[in-house]
């Protein structure tokens, strides 16, 4: 299921909470976890329909015309992913873009058939 591609973000948030990142409070962590979880059905639908794809930086990119609600979902997902990557980066000492690219590779490996992915070379393909 496409939900597996997003489960890493939720798992990462639990790890952040467990090890403690000073720049993200427990309340913020819980709020991000809840938002990502609540958004899974909408993200699954967008990915399944091919309206969005997973880019090579760990974010979701529009692959077609989105209505305002779909665009809002996409923007919210990317904002929460950025928060997760920043929190992990601050804990590990790696830059957030590096964390995002590492996550993109994990997404490519775990993605289910039909999901649009952007390879490291920038070319899009459907798994």
Q: How many Cβ atoms sit within 10 Å of the Cβ of residue 11?
A: 11
Separation between Cα atoms, residue 110 and residue 68, nearest integer Å? 29
The per-residue pLDDT for range 36-69, each reduced to its tens digit, is 999 999 999 999 999 999 999 999 999 989 999 9
Residue 25: the pLDDT is 57
Report the alpha-carbon distance of residue 64 to residue 86 in Å, rounded: 28
Q: Mean pLDDT, consecutive 10-residue segments, the chain of 127 residues? A: 49 43 58 91 95 98 96 97 92 95 96 96 97
């Amino acid at each position: 299921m496409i939900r597996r591609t997003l489960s890493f973000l939720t798992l990462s948030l639990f790890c952040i909470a467990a090890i403690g990142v000073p720049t993200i409070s427990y309340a913020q962590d819980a709020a991000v976890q809840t938002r990502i979880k609540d958004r899974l059905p909408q993200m699954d639908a967008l990915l399944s329909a091919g309206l969005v794809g997973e880019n090579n930086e760990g974010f979701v990119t529009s692959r077609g015309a989105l209505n305002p609600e779909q665009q809002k979902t996409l923007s919210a997902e990317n904002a929460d992913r950025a928060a997760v990557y920043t929190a992990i980066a601050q804990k590990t000492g790696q830059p957030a873009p590096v964390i995002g690219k590492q996550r993109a590779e994990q997404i490519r490996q775990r993605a289910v058939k039909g999901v649009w992915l952007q390879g490291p070379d920038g070319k899009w393909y459907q798994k």
